[in-house]
Amino acid sequence: MAEDLLQIRDLRKSFGGIAVTAGVSLSVRRGETHALIGPNGAGKTTLIAQLSGDLRPDAGQVLWYGRDVTRLPPYRRSRLGMARSFQITSVFMDLTVLDNVALAVQARAGHSFRFWAPARRDGRLTEPAMAVLAQVGLAGRAGQPASILSHGERRALEIAMALATEPELLLLDEPMAGMGPEESSEMIATLRGLKSHKTILLVEHDMDAVFALADRISVLVYGKIIAAGTPEEIRNDAHVRRAYLGEEAA
Amino acid sequence: MAETTETAAAAAPVPGGSILDPRGWGVRGWTTLAVLLFLAIAPPAAFLLDEPFYLDLAIRLVCLTIAAVSLNLILGYGGMISFGHAAYIGIGAYAVGIPAFHDYLSGWLHFPLAVGVSALFALVTGAICLRTRGVHFIMITLAFAQMAYFLFVSMEAYGGDDGLLIYYRSEFSGVLDIDSNLNLYILCYVVLLAAMYLVHRIVNSRFGMVLRGSKGNDARMRAIGYNTYAYRLAAYVISAAICGLAGALLGNFTNFISPEMMAWSRSGELIFMVILGGAGTVLGPVIGALAFLALEELLSGWTIYWQLIFGLLLILVVLYMKGGIVSILGRRQPEDG
Amino acid sequence: MDWTLVLIQTLNGLQLGLLLFLLASGLTLVFGIMDFVNLAHGALYMIGAYFCASLTFWTESFILGLLLALPLTAIVGFLVELIVARRLYPRSHLDHVLATFGLILVFDTLVQILWGPEGVAIPLPDWLNGQVTLGEVVLPSYRLMIIGGGLGVAGLLYLLVNHTRLGMLIRAGASNRTMVGALGVNIQLLFAAVFALGAALAGLAGMLISPITGASIGMGNEIIIVAFVVIIVGGIGSMKGAFIAALLVGLIDTMGRSYLDDLFKLGMPLESAETSAPAVSAMLIYILMAVILAFRPQGLFPPKVR
């Protein structure tokens, strides 16, 4: 039995009386690609935020390899091996594409209280960064400022930055958000390439991507998991169908 | 999305060369060299030609430029808008004045004291300030600077509101003699070059990249594993230390040290210098301080109501010159870090 | 313990606190609704004092001068909003700070041009210049009037914010600016009105203090920082926070200056108490701010923002 990398136990979070996360329990097994789907307003981003440490749950636990990390700040979780990409693109606009990824590489390279040697000429940072950029197909844009990238390229950069920290778990918050069909296919291909050696928790609306990539799917509706299982099981689940009735699966 | 007056990035090639390699320079690089050469030659020349006024002006200019360079480190590259940096100028100056008052004239004491006390004050206040962001941060740095101001005003023993007169410059046991303005100017100039180079190295180092990432997107930095609080605090302290040094130099120059050096309007002027010149660039604080002081001299010569024009200019610059003077001097260069 | 003195100092503290509240309320309103940091708020305080001075001389009545100066100051506030502030709303807070810093220079010099470099003193009418005797305590009646006036205005503001349509818009705008715009309210007018109201409040504070201190150039520049401390401590955007923090700051500052050396003498040798007390009491409100921020970086009563 594959071990549980991440375990969420009865997580709860309310905002002003509304339970956005209403007792969520879920496990992500090592090596699997686990998709989290649900209609708009289900509370997916709030859940991710509680996993990454950006939000404190009101109750419940988040366990990493059995260790309670519920109260750990984001930068500590990142060091444990949890990497997150953001739903709204969150890269360093004033820096080049390579700088962006190199910063992520640098985060793993011990402390950064080094004040003298130029970081941009440090092969120990730039080489791994270029390798990651190649993985997501952005090697050609290395020297460009992130601000001039297309939307899809920026999403790819998001993934690259998450990858560069050499995580065990990738928390991807709607990586396809705002992408057209061509860019989406590229992203799916990239993610497929990662499946074999990374554990991924993927929040997505794009059903093509979900069914193409997921090993298991959990369905979140109004802050609760109403179904969890293989893609086949989920596709045929009556509750899931009802929850999505009237909803255009993206 | 709020716009800012910081420099926007233009397409820049991946940098490879050192700042000292002229082949990498553009308009900005050459302008920087020109300004630095001008500062190296003109004021001493003026002094030797019996116009000491310009040398005095230049000393003040260079000291304020050092302060502006230090502020640029955290404001331009780190996005930390400290509205209390003048406090460090004051602390540095009093680090010369108070020992001198007690007949301790050694520069070997004054200067390290200036740097040390500034760093300590920055560490303590920064630890609190940096837990806040945005306008809270601005206001809290302002409040702490006021606190320092009132502290010195209340110190009757050292002149309080009336200030402190010192009669001798720092002594360096014969190694260095800054009794003459010319020598003091040379020291200030050397310190400026050192400060500019130091800041340049810092902003391009790993530490500097963390700082710049944090300015752009602090949440992202934390998400990839950086304890940004620690790095920002370190930058804040370094910046304060350099500024304290500027204060010690200024204190030596003016011989009259008063809490007015720490008035919050002085902090505002420093920020204006950095923004006017172009935040986040090498040339920015240098040209900003130069333009600021030149304007001040020029306008106050015309009319006693020069502050009115100055204030209007400030408003216009904020409204219409977002990138500062440097933004009209050509594109971003790799060595701008 | 001289209880008479304690009472007097408490009232002084209240007076300072209420004046700070008048200043801080305008500041926090403008920040809460328009997200605008107005460093020049202290200049409006000064202008109010000067208007009041001139109008008092002209009408030979302090009350009339004050009543006429209020709308004038509000108009100046409105003009500032129209010409400068409005263009800055989309900009960063740093831009607000720098631009309003420039405005301070402009106003300080304008005042110098119009009224000259010397300050202007404002004579109080006799009926306000007297004293009130409560038992053994003799209090200047003007100070009581300031306290009464300040509390009255605070009460009016409370009614305004909580029981009028404008107040509802203000509270709504403070927590969700875009929604208020989407509701079809004339945002520009609302902003201008809030700014003018803030200006009038600042001006009122200046007018109330001017018979005691006189109107002088740059008189707002120090107290504005204290007003910022008040709103930071109270929670930026919160009127309740501004009120409580203002009283807290006013009382602590006043009592600190009067009694800190006595307090120190209880635990310290005489000389160190006498040298350190003035320094510490000068820094007291900033130390207070630092302590509060250490535990609550958002202030005591931060408004809930969506």
ipTM associated with this complex: 0.84
Number of H helices, E strands in chain C: 12, 2
Nearest to B140 among C104, C112, C293 (CB): C293
What kind and span of H or E run contains C140?
A: strand C137-140
Residue A191 corresponds to which amino acid?
L
Half-sphere exposure (Cβ direction) of C74: Cα atoms closer than 13 Å: 15
pLDDT score, position B7? 32
Nearest-CA distance C125 → chain B (Å): 34
Whether residue A181 has pLDDT greater than 60:
yes
Q: Which of C225, C199, C196, C216 is nearest to C49 (CA)?
A: C216
Per DSSP, the three-state class of B169 is coil
Write out residues 68-97 of C within 8 Å (CB-CB) of B: 84, 87-88, 90-95, 97
Instruction: Say yes or no for a CB contact (<8 Å) between B225 and A165.
Output: yes
Residue C152 in contact with partner chain B when CB distance is under 8 A: no
Residue A115 in contact with partner chain B when CB distance is under 8 A: yes
Structure tokens at B313: 């200019």
Going by C-beta distance under 8 Å and a sequence separation of 6 or more, which residues neighbour residue B135?
C31, C37, C93, C236
Instruction: Say yes or no for a CB contact (<8 Å) between C290 and B144.
Output: yes
Write out residues 298-317 of B within 8 Å (CB-CB) of C: 305, 307-308, 310-315
Distance CA B80, CA B101 (A): 35
B257: DSSP letter: E
Nearest-by-CA chain C residue for B3: C91
Mean pLDDT of C71-92: 92
* In chain A, % of residues over pLDDT 90: 31
Residue B44 in contact with partner chain A when CB distance is under 8 A: no
Highest mean pLDDT among A4-8, B333-337, C3-7, C294-298: A4-8
Nearest-by-CA chain C residue for B139: C228
Structure tokens at A150: 């297309």
At residue B16, φ and ψ (nearest 5 deg) are: -130, -30
β pairing state of A4-15 and A59-64: antiparallel
Per DSSP, the three-state class of A236 is coil
β pairing state of A169-173 and A18-29: unpaired
Distance CA C233, CA A185 (A): 52
What kind and span of H or E run contains B307?
A: helix B306-320
Per DSSP, the three-state class of B178 is coil
Instruction: Say yes or no for a CB contact (<8 Å) between B314 and C236.
Output: no
B213 neighbourhood in chain A, CB within 8 Å: 92, 95, 103
Distance CA A225, CA A243 (A): 12
Query: Which DSSP string corresponds to B133-152?
Result: -HHHHHHHHHHHHHHHHHHH
Going by C-beta distance under 8 Å and a sequence separation of 6 or more, which residues neighbour residue C126?
none
B8 neighbourhood in chain A, CB within 8 Å: 94
Q: Which chains touch C (3 or more CB pairs under 8 A)?
A: B
Residue C228 in contact with partner chain B when CB distance is under 8 A: yes
Nearest-by-CA chain C residue for B150: C282
pLDDT tens-digit readout, B62-107: 999 999 999 999 999 999 999 999 999 999 999 999 999 998 888 8
* Residue B16 binned pLDDT confidence (cut-offs 50, 70, 90): very low
Determine the residue among B3, B19, B206 to mutate to test chain A binding: the one whose Cβ has the most chain A Cβ atoms within 10 Å. B206
Mean pLDDT of C106-135: 85
Nearest-by-CA chain B residue for A167: B224
Per DSSP, the three-state class of B206 is helix
Handedness of CA C198, C202, C203, C205 (dihedral sign): positive
β pairing state of A199-203 and A33-37: parallel
Instruction: Say yes or no for a CB contact (<8 Å) between C279 and B154.
Output: yes
Residue C184 in contact with partner chain B when CB distance is under 8 A: no
Structure tokens at C241: 């926070």
B307 neighbourhood in chain C, CB within 8 Å: 105-106, 108-109
Whether residue B4 has pLDDT greater than 50:
no
Nearest-CA distance C148 → chain B (Å): 29
Find the distance separating the first CA and the last CA of chain B, reported in whole Å.
Answer: 25
pLDDT tens-digit readout, B271-306: 999 999 988 888 899 999 999 999 999 998 888 888
Nearest-CA distance A186 → chain B (Å): 24
Q: pLDDT averaged over chain B?
A: 86
pLDDT score, position B17? 47
Half-sphere exposure (Cβ direction) of C23: Cα atoms closer than 13 Å: 40
Nearest to B226 among A75, A93, A118 (CB): A75
Nearest-CA distance C150 → chain B (Å): 25
Q: Burial, A153: exposed, middle or buried (Cβ in 10 Å; 0-12, 13-18, 19+)?
A: buried
Q: Using an 8 Å Cβ cutoff, are B135 and B143 in contact?
A: no
Q: What does the radius of gyration of chain C's CA atoms come to, in whole angstroms?
A: 20
Instruction: Say yes or no for a CB contact (<8 Å) between C293 and B307.
Output: no
pLDDT tens-digit readout, B216-261: 889 899 888 899 999 999 999 999 999 999 999 999 999 889 999 9
Residue B14 in contact with partner chain C when CB distance is under 8 A: no
Sheet containing strand A224-229, edge to edge, reads A82-85, A169-173, A199-203, A33-37, A216-221, A224-229
Structure tokens at B188: 């200030």
Structure tokens at B330: 């050509």
Residue B4 in contact with partner chain A when CB distance is under 8 A: no
Q: Roughly what angle, to the nearest 10 degrees, separates helices B283-302 and B264-277?
A: 120
Instruction: Say yes or no for a CB contact (<8 Å) between B201 and A116.
Output: yes
Instruction: Say yes or no for a CB contact (<8 Å) between B231 and A112.
Output: yes
CA angle B175, B180, B185 (to 5 degrees): 85
* Residue C25 binned pLDDT confidence (cut-offs 50, 70, 90): very high
pLDDT tens-digit readout, A29-42: 988 999 998 887 77
Per DSSP, the three-state class of A22 is strand
